[in-house]
């Protein structure tokens, strides 16, 4: 049984793609394979084997690199596109819904700008772990299907092992696709592309008014970023070419999740001014949506979409509060009082430089009587208000479902990557199991729950991949 992929996007938008044949890595092997995700697409064993051959680049099938542009660190760059990725085609899940299957690190494309078109094991592992962790945390994200490693060396800051990552997404259309159509005055293509996105991501809105369609994009973007803020996730490079039109976390580069909560800290060493810092993510999301609305003025009246942008902050705040109510176990009640409690909680986290995820577990343990309350008047005052707001025991079951015991930590990723580069994949499999709620021994689980010790903190991350 062969694997059948449709070529809907490439056939519909020939002016937005360039044909590309995957260039396999030397002595490549699949090291991680997401069987649960494969099952969602109803793939039988023989089909999975065929899919593995696709992921290895062993099937002589033409894929397509996509053309787009974008604003990078606030500056428009017209010379962008899939420089190392190829859209293999579309897969259909059991419900008949299509998703993109994309391979990163597939060799130089028409848009590689002189680059080698490759990905390295370090960045590929980081994306695999991030996307599957965020999915487990119920945050909208692309998914990792398979990771292929090789002994073939790839030159970055150092020579690193090469890799390819098979990625699944609702669509790989970015804000930058619409910016490209706008810059080239491709009116027909942009109209078709917008309808393609609606059909793929919001089929119920295919015949809706443009303002309602755009509202769906604004809402999805706001809710994604609200989730990032609620879980201490820093994307690191929120360029418009890294923004999925359907609000999925996309293109993982120098991302991080807070250990110690220091909200002003900048992790991307190329972002000296902190444009993409944790505190600025919400405002950058709006800025990017403004660039999108400008691009869409090619097909929609300028003043039609502008009012929708005013809804962005409300969408973000309400969804953020919804998430934080669950994380803190807040009962239904006055939103203003709840926001005040959340804000004061974040202030306590910052004041005492608590571990971001660990602080919520600490609160659960205090409520259960398993841990002593911090001996601090500010905390005690907050706790009294917190208990008064709830009027009864906070919703511990909701907290337990919402607060991960194992966080995505840079020092653990360093350990996993170092071992994988040496050929030991056991730590990667163990940490991935811990992050996604698979059963582990108490010893293994305890190891992955540990925050970094002094000297283990990773404070600077690179964009290179």
Banded pLDDT at 455 (limits 50, 70, 90): confident
pLDDT tens-place string over residues 350-394? 999 999 999 999 999 999 999 999 999 999 999 999 999 987 788
Residue 49 known to bind ligand = no
Residue 228 lies in a domain: yes
pLDDT of 464 reads: 64
Residue 335 known to bind ligand = no
**Active site members:** 241
| Co-location of 233 and 344 in the same domain | yes
Residue 84 known to bind ligand = yes
The answer, yes or no, to whether residue 298 has pLDDT greater than 70, is yes
| Co-location of 242 and 157 in the same domain | no
Residue 340 known to bind ligand = no
The answer, yes or no, to whether residue 1 has pLDDT greater than 50, is no
Domain ranges, residue 230: 174-404
Give the distance, in angstroms, between the CA of residue 259 and the centroid of all CA atoms in the same chain: 18
| Co-location of 157 and 223 in the same domain | no
Percentage above 90 pLDDT, the chain:
82
Residue finishing a domain among 134, 152, 169:
169
- pTM for this prediction: 0.96
Write b or e for each residue in 272-308: b if 16 or more Cβ atoms lie within 10 A of its Cβ, otherwise e: eeebbbbebbbebbbbbbebbbebbebbbeeeebeeb
Mean pLDDT of 202-223: 97
Mean pLDDT of 113-123: 93
Residue 259 lies in a domain: yes
Q: How far apart are CA 32 and CA 432, in angstroms?
A: 10
pLDDT of 39 reads: 87
| Co-location of 72 and 133 in the same domain | yes
The answer, yes or no, to whether residue 2 has pLDDT greater than 60, is no
pLDDT tens-place string over residues 162-189? 999 999 999 999 999 999 999 999 999 9
| Co-location of 310 and 414 in the same domain | no
Number of domains in the chain: 3
Structural Rg of the chain based on CA atoms: 22
Residue 52 known to bind ligand = no
| Co-location of 272 and 335 in the same domain | yes
In 3D space, the residue among 252, 328, 227, 197 whose CA is nearest the CA of residue 85 turns out to be: 252
Mean pLDDT of 438-450: 96
Residue 81 known to bind ligand = yes
Say if residues 258 and 356 touch (Cβ distance below 8 Å): yes
Give the distance, in angstroms, between the CA of residue 452 and the centroid of all CA atoms in the same chain: 23
Residue 118 known to bind ligand = no
Tokens representing 412 are 């653990």
| Co-location of 429 and 282 in the same domain | no
| Co-location of 152 and 199 in the same domain | no
DSSP string, 344-357: HHHHHHHHTT-BHH
């Amino acid at each position: 049984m062969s694997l059948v992929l449709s070529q809907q996007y490439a056939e519909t938008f020939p002016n937005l793609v360039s044909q590309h044949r995957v260039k396999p890595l030397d002595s490549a092997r699949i090291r991680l394979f997401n069987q649960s995700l494969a099952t969602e697409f109803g793939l039988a064993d023989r089909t999975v084997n065929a899919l593995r051959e696709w992921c290895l680049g062993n099937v002589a099938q033409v894929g397509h690199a996509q053309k787009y542009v974008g604003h990078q660190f606030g500056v428009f760059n017209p010379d962008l596109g899939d420089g190392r990725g190829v859209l293999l085609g579309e897969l259909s899940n059991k419900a008949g819904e299509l998703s993109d299957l994309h391979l990163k690190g597939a060799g130089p494309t028409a848009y590689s700008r002189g680059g080698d078109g490759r990905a390295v094991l370090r960045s590929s592992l980081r994306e695999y772990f991030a996307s599957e962790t965020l999915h487990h945390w119920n945050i909208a994200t692309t998914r990792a299907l398979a990771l292929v490693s090789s002994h073939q060396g790839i030159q970055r800051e150092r020579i690193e092992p090469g890799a390819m990552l098979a990625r699944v997404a609702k669509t790989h259309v970015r804000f930058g696709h619409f910016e490209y159509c706008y810059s080239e005055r491709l009116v027909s293509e942009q109209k078709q592309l917008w309808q393609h996105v609606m059909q793929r991501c919001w089929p119920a809105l295919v015949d809706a008014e443009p303002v309602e369609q755009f509202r769906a994009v604004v809402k999805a973007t706001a809710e994604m970023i609200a989730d990032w803020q609620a879980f201490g996730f820093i994307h690191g490079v929120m360029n418009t070419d890294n923004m999925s039109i359907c609000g999925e976390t996309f293109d993982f580069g120098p991302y991080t999740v807070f250990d110690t909560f220091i909200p002003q800290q900048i992790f991307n060493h190329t972002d000296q001014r902190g444009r993409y810092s944790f505190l600025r993510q919400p405002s950058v999301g709006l800025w990017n949506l403004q660039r999108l609305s400008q691009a869409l003025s090619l097909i929609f009246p300028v003043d039609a979409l502008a009012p929708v942008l005013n809804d962005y902050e409300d969408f973000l705040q309400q969804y953020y509060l919804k998430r934080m109510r669950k994380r803190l176990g807040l009962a239904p009640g006055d939103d203003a009082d709840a926001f005040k409690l959340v804000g004061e909680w974040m202030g306590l986290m910052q004041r005492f430089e608590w571990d971001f995820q660990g602080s919520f577990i600490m609160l659960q343990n205090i409520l259960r009587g398993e841990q002593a309350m911090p001996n601090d008047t500010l905390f005690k005052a907050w706790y009294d208000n917190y208990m008064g707001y709830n009027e009864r025991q906070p919703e511990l079951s909701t907290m337990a479902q919402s607060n991960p015991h194992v966080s995505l930590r840079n020092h653990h990723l360093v350990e996993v990557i170092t071992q994988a580069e040496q050929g030991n994949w056991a730590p990667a499999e163990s940490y991935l199991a811990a992050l996604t709620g698979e059963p582990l021994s108490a010893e293994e689980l305890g190891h992955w729950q540990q925050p970094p010790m002094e000297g283990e903190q990773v404070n600077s991350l690179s964009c290179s991949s």
